[in-house]
């Protein structure tokens, strides 16, 4: 499940960079959609790091 969240975040972040020429509003919308995925990705990375250390 975490892998799916990470893949979705990567897809959205790549769309944000690729579609940059289509206007600021689209970019802003994609970023706002991607923000929860970014938080989830960071949390998953922290959990994985804590698991590796512990």
d(CA 17, CA 26): 11
Domain count for the chain: 1
Does pLDDT of 10 surpass 70?
A: yes
Instruction: State the residue range of the domain holding 29.
Output: 2-53
User: Angle at CA 14, nearest 5°, toward 30 and 12?
Assistant: 40
Specify the pTM: 0.36
Distance of CA 26 to the CA centre of its chain: 16
> Among 9-13, 38-42, 45-49, which is the least confidently predicted range?
9-13
Task: Answer yes or no: are the C-beta atoms of 5 and 47 closer than 8 Å.
Answer: no
Does pLDDT of 22 surpass 70?
A: no
């Amino acid at each position: 499940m975490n892998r799916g969240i990470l893949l979705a975040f990567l897809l959205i972040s790549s769309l944000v960079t690729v579609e940059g020429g289509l206007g600021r509003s689209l970019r802003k919308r994609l970023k706002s959609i991607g923000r929860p995925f970014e938080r989830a990705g960071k949390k998953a990375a922290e959990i994985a790091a804590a698991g590796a250390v512990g």
